[in-house]
Amino acid sequence: MTPLQLFDTYERKVRAFEPLTAGRVGMYACGPTVYNFAHIGNLRTYLFEDILRRVLEFNGYEVHHVMNITDVGHLTSDADSGEDKMELGSKRTGMTAWEMADYYSEAFIADLERLNILMPDVWCKATDHIDEQIAFVEDLETKGYTYRTNDGIYFDSQKLNGYGHLARLDVEGLRQGARVQPGERRFVTDFALWKFSPPGEQRQMEWQSPWGIGFPGWHIECSAMSAKYLGDFFDIHCGGEDHIPIHHTNEIAQTEASRGTRLANFWMHGYFLQVGDAKMAKSDGEFLRLKTVIEKGFDASSYRYFCMTAHYRTQMSFSWDSLQATNTALQRLYQLAYDWGEPGEIASGMLGRFADHINDDLNIPRAIAVIWDMVKADINKADKKATLLEMDKVLGLGFADWRPQEREVPADVMALVEQREQARQSRDFTRADSLRAEVAALGFQIEDTREGPKVTG
């Protein structure tokens, strides 16, 4: 088996993965901001992270998986700052920010469960770690990386050598191309560590700090919480591609300034799902949820499989037709695997090829191609089944538990089926075909097999 290789955004190359501590992997995944439901594009990223985790476990590592929940927003009491997500969400739903955070956190976790995504070992909420964040900012202040403006404490990105290396930022170009007035910020790439509550306003979420009442900036929660649960330098930090230039760049800046590390040994990013010509933007109001996919008659596992047909590091196009196409393939595979019966011995050649591909920077599309090779290969069914079940530890499609849909066939339908079979036996095919059409109109399909007619719903 080829040793595991992963692409590291920081170094911009695929390199051998070696855990910092033998046998153990610390993995931090940027979680959701809980102001709305997750859309299927969000979920693609969590599917990528799930595959990453399963591949690490397949390689024998014990994974310590941490995911944050961003439940802090800029909450103001009036409509002026309509940009704020938590505020808008609270207004839209009629819930308090706290209620809304719980509501959408639960909905998010339910989606992950439906997709058979393994749960993190630690869920950490930003609001449960205010003290850690304040301590982190205090440390940065002591080390001289902060300055104060009228609305908050900011990180002085120019004090740091190599700010923006993760994203290969052209800092001077950013300065010239800035579309927003910097205000009291000294430089475009500076960002808030702590924001003050505006005078005279009561926020739903605000806390006491050495700098006054306010709330933490967005980036600080990940630096503070990952340090708490995984240490100052851990194995893998992952998230969506959109985080590369801002969020992860700033996390690295904070941690570099405070702890002297680049936070994680590997930085990994899942790429966007495209729907039609546009990306999925929650701000557009309309976005596609897993719920919608299920309501259209697909299983969550079909969406899981769909995502696995593309490499995590390429943008992928979603359409109902392409989901339908992968669904057809997956249902075929389920039925085939079911018909293979009880598992025998693992076919090591096939499993080896599969493992080589997953270890080659999670090349799941190639790994799945090996499965289709195996379908056609001259290997006995029991061994194919055993091999597939082993592969499914990574794929997570649930081949062991899949059963053909057995819908209760009503007695009147069964009667028609029997009448048709009699008509067939007496070679009255005209009558047989019209009875088949009748049964179809009632929502059941008849397939003639050697064992007689098979009725499916």
Q: For the CB of residue 290, give the shortest distance to RNA in the complex, in Å.
A: 13
The CA–CA distances, whole Å, from 288 to 4, 104, 387 equal 34, 16, 35
**Binder to RNA among 19, 26, 217, 396 (CB under 7 A)?**
217
Answer for which of 365, 382, 409, 438 binds RNA (CB under 7 A) is: 365
Pick one of 77, 149, 324, 419: the residue that binds RNA (CB under 7 A): 324
326 interacts with RNA by CB under 7 A: yes
Q: How far apart are CA 285 and CA 261, in angstroms?
A: 39
439 binds RNA (CB under 7 A): no
Query: Binding of RNA at residue 179 (CB under 7 A)?
Result: yes
Which C-beta is closer to RNA: that of 322 or that of 419?
322
* SS3 of 326-378: HHHHHHHHHHHHHHCCCCCCCCHHHHHHHHHHHHECCCHHHHHHHHHHHHHCC
| Contact set for RNA, span 37-76 (CB under 7 A) | 39, 41-42, 44-45, 74
Residue 43: helix, strand or coil by DSSP?
helix
Among 142, 292, 317, 380, binds RNA (CB under 7 A): 317
Rounded least distance, CB 8 to RNA, Å: 13
- Contact residue for RNA among 141, 242, 392, 438 (CB under 7 A): 242
Our finding on whether 15 is near RNA (CB under 7 A) is no
Partner residues linked to 214 by β-bridges: 196, 207
Residue 283 near RNA by CB under 7 A = yes
59-91 exposure pattern, b = at least 16 Cβ within 10 A, e = fewer: bebebbbbbbbbbbbbbbeeeeeeebbbbbbbe
- Residue number, 19 or 267, with CB nearest to RNA: 267
Q: Does 372 bind RNA (CB under 7 A)?
A: yes
Closer of 251 and 256 to RNA (Cβ): 251
Number of residues that bind RNA (CB under 7 A): 85
Q: Which two tokens stand for residue 54?
A: 């399963």
Interface pick for RNA out of 5, 77, 85, 93 (rule CB under 7 A) = 85
329-352 burial by CB neighbour count: b if 16+ within 10 A, else e?
bbbebbebbeebeebbebbeebbe
Our finding on whether 438 is near RNA (CB under 7 A) is no
Q: How far is the CB of 401 from RNA (least distance, A)?
A: 20
SS3 state at 127: helix
Applying CB under 7 A, does 296 fall inside the site for RNA?
no
Per CB under 7 A, contacts with RNA among 402-431 are 424, 429
Taking CB under 7 A as the criterion, the residue among 89, 240, 343, 396 binding RNA is 240
φ, ψ at 302 (rounded to 5°): -65, -35
Residue ranges in 262-281 that form contacts with RNA under rule CB under 7 A:
270-274, 277-281
Residue 149 has a CB neighbour count (10 Å cut-off) of 15
Site for RNA, residues 108 to 137, rule: CB under 7 A: none
Instruction: Tell the smallest beta-carbon distance from residue 116 to RNA (Å).
Output: 18
What's the gap between Cα 202 and its chain centre?
A: 35
Contact 22, 257 (CB under 8 A): no
Nearest C-alpha neighbor of 70 from the set 118, 108, 35: 35
Contact between 332 and RNA per CB under 7 A? yes
CB of 445 to RNA, least distance (A): 6
Which span (19-27, 142-150, 370-378, 387-395) binds RNA, by CB under 7 A? 370-378
The identity of residue 109, as a single letter, is I
CA angle 221, 226, 232 (to 5 degrees): 120
Q: Contact letters (x/-) for RNA, 135-154, by CB under 7 A?
A: --------------------
CB of 21 to RNA, least distance (A): 27
Close Cβ partners of 11 (under 8 Å, ≥ 6 residues apart): none
Question: Closer to RNA at the Cβ: 1 or 20?
Answer: 1
170 binds RNA per the rule CB under 7 A: yes
